[in-house]
Amino acid sequence: MLNKRLICLIGIPALIAAAAIAATSGVMSVQIRKADIRDTPSSLGRVVTSVAYGDKVTVQSQDGAWMKVSAGGQSGWMHSSALTKKNVVMTAGPNAQTAASSGEMALATKGFNSDVEAQFKAGHKNIDFAPVDKMEKIKIPTSTIREFVQEGNLGAKGGAK
């Protein structure tokens, strides 16, 4: 009787833990045009490598919205919004769908896309958007942003994610 209770006390939590690990592990497909795999679970992490739409990654673990993955001999962190459990297949021809880039995904998660921008501009014709358009073309390397955040001691609880 004691052995059965001991098995239940140890075995059930072990099965639950194994199920949780299995739920986050496995093969997933990249669902955006280009996704970066980073060295830390943060958008400020150094880019280890990049993967393309339809590429497969193996999920090893999860930390919030970030997944530790491996692909092509490299491992690192990807935001879960770039991945899907569905099998993504590239198609060709005039009806081929194009996927969003990681930048477009970042804007879309904030509720912003080209349709929203066009609608806003149409409703505000008296505003000169040239300075905004010019600023959008500025590219700042992630390493420079990471250095700025560290030097300014900025970031959310637990660091910038």
DSSP for residue 159 = S
DSSP for residue 99 = P
Residues near 36 by Cβ (< 8 Å), separated by ≥ 6?
47, 48, 49, 50, 78, 102
Residues near 72 by Cβ (< 8 Å), separated by ≥ 6?
49, 51
pTM of the predicted protein model: 0.54
Query: Contact, 77 vs 38, CB < 8 A?
Result: yes
Percent of the chain with pLDDT over 70: 65
Q: How many residues does the chain have?
A: 161
Q: What is the average per-residue pLDDT within 127-152? A: 86
Q: Which of 91, 114, 88 is nearest to 103 (CA)?
A: 114
The amino acid at residue 35 is A
The superfamily in CATH containing domain 24-151 is SH3 Domains (2.30.30.40)
Q: What is the pLDDT of residues 116-130, one digit of tens each?
A: 778 888 888 898 888
DSSP for residue 95 = T
Tokens of 43: 């958008």
Q: 45 falls in which pLDDT band (50, 70, 90)?
A: confident
Q: What is the pLDDT of residues 27-42, one digit of tens each?
A: 999 988 889 999 999 8
Residue whose pair of structure tokens reads 């830390």 in the numeric block? 40
Q: What is the pLDDT of residues 81-106, one digit of tens each?
A: 889 998 877 666 555 555 566 666 66
Long-range contacts of 7-12 (CB under 8 A, 24+ apart): none
Domain locations along the chain = 24-151
What pLDDT was estimated at residue 10?
A: 58
Asked if the model's pLDDT at residue 2 lies above 80, the reply is no
Q: 17 falls in which pLDDT band (50, 70, 90)?
A: very low
Torsion, CA 139, CA 96, CA 91, CA 68, rounded to 10: 40
Higher pLDDT, 37 or 155: 37
